[in-house]
Each structure stands twice: as C-alpha cells, then as structure tokens.
A and B are shown apart, each in its own frame.
Chain A
C-alpha cells in the first residue's frame, strides 16, 4: 500500500512503520531471529494506527476529505457503473467541467449519475475549478435529472466540492438562481434519488445536488454550511483557528447523522477511501443497491411526499 502524501497526524506512525520495515529487512539480510520482537512491534504500530484513526478530530477528517488522492466522482462512476456515457452542457451557455454527468447502468438498471468533479492534479484542478461549479454546471445537472424523470430512471448524485465558484461571471449568470432551481426541482422529481457525500460537501454548492430521498455520507467525508477557514475568518477574524471551528461546525458524518441531516454513514476502510478505494466502492455499491431497491418499491407520489417530510423535520426551535 503506497503512503504518498501522508497527512500530519499520520506521520509519526508512518515513521515507526518505516523503521520497523528497515528492521525486518536487516533481520532478513543478517539472518537474525527477531521474530518475537518484530511481531510485538508490529502489534504496537497497528494499535497506534487504530487509535489514531478511531479518534480523528473534525479537522483531521476535513484533511482526509480534501485529500488529492481521494476517489473522485468519476472514480465512483467507473467502479460502480457500466456503460457510462457522459453528457455535456446546459443548452444555454456552456459545459462546466466542475460537474460530470450522464447515463450509466447500475446493477443492471439504467440510471442518471451526476456529481461534482475535482481534478487529480493541479492542471486538471485548474480546468475543473477544483470542483466548484458555475451556474451552467448546476443547469446541466438539473437538465440531466429532468431527463431522468422523463425516462423514469433513478438519479444518483455524488457530492464533492469546496462550494459553488465565487466569481463575477458565475454571479452575473445567476449562481443563486441556478442553485435555488436545483433545490426546488430536486424536491419535486418523481424518480428515486440518492445523494452521497464522498469527500467535501461545501455549502449551497454541495446542497444543490443533495435534495434526495436518501442522503448518505462516507465516514470521513465532511459537509458544512461554510468552510472552517471561512467561518473562523468571518466570526473570529482569524482563519488560523479553522481547526477549532471545524469542531464547532459539527460537520462530520457522525455529527450530521445525529442531527438528522443525513440518513446513513457508509463506513470507509480505517485509513480512508484513498488508501483502499476498492473496499470503499464495494461498501458504497452495497448501500446504493439497498436504498435504490427500497425506493423503487414506493409509489412516486409517496416518495415525493416522504422526501418533503424528510426536509420538513429539519430545524431546531422553540415555540
């Protein structure tokens, strides 16, 4: 398993493991019998790793969620679906590379898949605006979802974006208008819809693909009203306190399940989706299959009603 680009909290145990590997090599070269010592050290390193990952802070999860090697929407589509045909453009202005969408086959049935798409390196990220859509991206997504409705196909949305693109062109072409339409139309879609937050769920730009019958979230993904850096900068005038803010915002999958914002957490392998993508895909496939099957058993009007009631329950107030 390659440990490229380790995160800060991984560094000490990775260093220990490297030393352990060196010790093993030496033992082999010199034909020393260090079996017991090595086994005991291995157990200790494994325990340290386990302890690290079982007690991740919110900020460490933010770092995993943003990891450049984390599987992207495109990786999920390729791993989970067959016969993917990408469809482009909003039919009004252009095609936004920050959102990918099209038709595919999932577990035998045709589906419409849509998701934010981050790049795998800086060059691709520049082309895809780091997965931050313009209005044409949201309009493309909505066009594909309405098409799914016409042909009676379920919709699967993958959420992975720092947020909607904050630029002049995006505003002038109606960023707010595009997002609000997406929220309203997704609430009314008559086909089954499942959204899954696979990495970073950044604010309204993420929610625009997240008004679904079921909302799932990978265990190290985050979903927040505003980035911890942005919030710390606005409320505390200090973006360096992002770590502390990440805790306050309650943006982890476990927090959001408890708040009723999401319906289910899909467990990632201990070291995160980017370290064991195949295992992650298998877990997601299983849960998507279950939820789609469950939703397909409901009558359309009932599904739309339940989707409304799901949103209707979200809110905390006294009366």
Chain B
C-alpha cells in the first residue's frame, strides 16, 4: 500500500499502459490482450496462457481449451485418445443441425468431449475433457457414447476415471436420443461404481443441464473450479420463474460448496497435484 491509496477519492484510471516488448516492435503489432471480466486487468494472452488462463491479479478462471486442459492434467505425452472417429449424425433431420456439424468439423473440431487413457502424476487413469466450444459442450449421442465407453473401458481395466465437465446440457438437435444419453451415462457410472472403482469429476464453467443431472454429479469426489457455474435449469428460465434477476454468485462453485454440493474448490494451478494425491490415496496394493 502506498500513501496514494489513502486518498481514495481520486477516480481510478480506466486504461493501462502496455509494456512494450522488443519483438512486438519488430512486427509493428500490439500483442493481443484479454481483459479480466472480474477485475478489469488486461493481460497479454501469452502471459495469461502461461498462467493456464487464470488472471494473475484476481485469480479469475478464463476458459481453457481442451488441448491445454490435457496438458494441465495429464503427464506429458501420456494421453492416448479413445474413439476419435465417432461422429454425430442428424438422427432427427433437425433443421440446420447437419450444416452446423459440417462447419464445426471443417474447423477441425470433432465433438464436445475427448476421452482417453493417461497418467496423472504417474497414476494411470481414464480421462475425459469436455469442449464447451463445440456446440456449447452439449451432450448428444457421441458425447454419451464416449463417456459410456470410457467408464466401460475403465471398469474392464480397473482404472479410476476423471471427467472434466463443461456443458450447456443435452443437445436439443438430437431430441430424446440426446436426453437418453443422461440415462446411459448414469447407468455406466452405476456399474463402474458398484465395482468399487474411483470416479472424480471436475466441474468447470459452465456445467449445466443434462450433464449436471447425469454423470457429472455422480462422482465419488466432486471438485469444482473457482467461479464455475453449476446448475440444472438455465439461469434465464429460473429468472422467468422467480420474476427477478439472479445474483451473480448464484450456483457458482463457491455457493455450491456452501450448499454442500461439491467436495472442494480447486484452483487450476493446483488441480493436477490434488488429483494426483487423491489417486495415490486410492491406489490399491500401494
């Protein structure tokens, strides 16, 4: 704290001075920056990435791409994907769905989840990471099938499962076929769990709808990232029901912790260490 802070009446400046880097000058370009929606700090994307997309000032968690998420959690080079070739089909002939899928495939994304085998701190696991950028991480047949197969493979190999979730819910464009993926994945968790095996879920922003009401909340240990919104109904639907705006803290990870819905909130930088410790504590014969 400096002496200046004691004189709080002065309006806070609304701009920041960006440091000038030699390499930027060379290209004559301003480096891309991201503004923190919580504290307003602008950070160079490159620097933000070094912090796993966590605001260095206030700890706000920005979304993290699937590839980086794998890098964060899995030991280097350990991830071996399952079922990469599974592709959604337009089962209902739903208006616009086939085109939307084609456009997403064109952009190089395949589906709203990746699953596979990996080691985390040396412990072998089956790992799933959802991609909120693929149709809002919605669960259709492919997500449901990949999650189900992940649990079935883990059961067969007697490995723990870690699911890192982010989803807008069931994929409306697949109608009831997508709704039933909730039942299918939950049944798969049920079998897996009945065999005495460990399942840890990590709820990231936002985890909602059919994913919250199925495999995401069936874990033995439910962790959440700071600030993650976790609920079942859409916030706008709730606002219509109660006829008022929801407070920003509603059903955020911190509120979920308070209501006894999650086991712990784990900041991104500590996630791997916490997972590794939990896995080690469940190691059989070790």
Contact = CB atoms under 8 A, between A and B. Distances in A.
Nearest to B259: A172
B39 interface: no
Contacts of A211: 183, 186-187
A112 B172 CA distance: 33
A122 interface: no
Interface string A175-203: 11101110111011000000000000001
Contacts of B177: 259, 261, 314-316
B37 interface: no
B179 A173 contact: no
A166 B234 contact: yes
B92 A181 contact: no
B186 A184 contact: yes
Contacts of A175: 213, 231-233
Given A249-B92, A311-B180, A315-B145, A174 B259 contact: yes
Interface string B239-279: 01110001000110001000111000000000000000000
Interface residues of A, number: 52
Interface of B: 83, 85-89, 91-96, 141-142, 144-145, 148, 170, 172, 174-184, 186-187, 189-191, 193-194, 209-210, 212-218, 230-234, 237-238, 240-242, 246, 250-251, 255, 259-261
A184 B259 contact: no
B232 A204 contact: yes
A64 interface: no
B176 A256 contact: yes
Contacts of A173: 259
Contacts of A177: 217, 261
B148 A317 contact: no
Interface stretch (A18-26, A27-35, A149-157, A224-232): A224-232
16 contacts: A165-B241, A166-B237, A168-B242, A176-B217, A180-B213, A180-B217, A183-B187, A183-B214, A187-B183, A203-B170, A204-B170, A225-B174, A248-B95, A250-B175, A316-B89, A319-B83
A308 B185 CA distance: 10
A251 interface: yes
Nearest to A313: B184
Contacts of A101: none
Contacts of A1: none
A32 B260 CA distance: 78
Contacts of B175: 224-225, 249-251, 259
Contacts of A210: 183
B136 to A, nearest CB: 10
A225 B179 contact: yes
Interface centre among B212, B213, B215 (most CB of A within 10 A): B213
A315 B187 CA distance: 14
Contacts of B191: 188, 308
A226 B172 contact: yes
Nearest to A185: B190
Contact of A184 (B187, B212, B231, B240): B187
Interface in A98-127: none
Contacts of B250: 168, 171
Contacts of A234: 172
Contact of B255 (A166, A172, A176, A225): A172
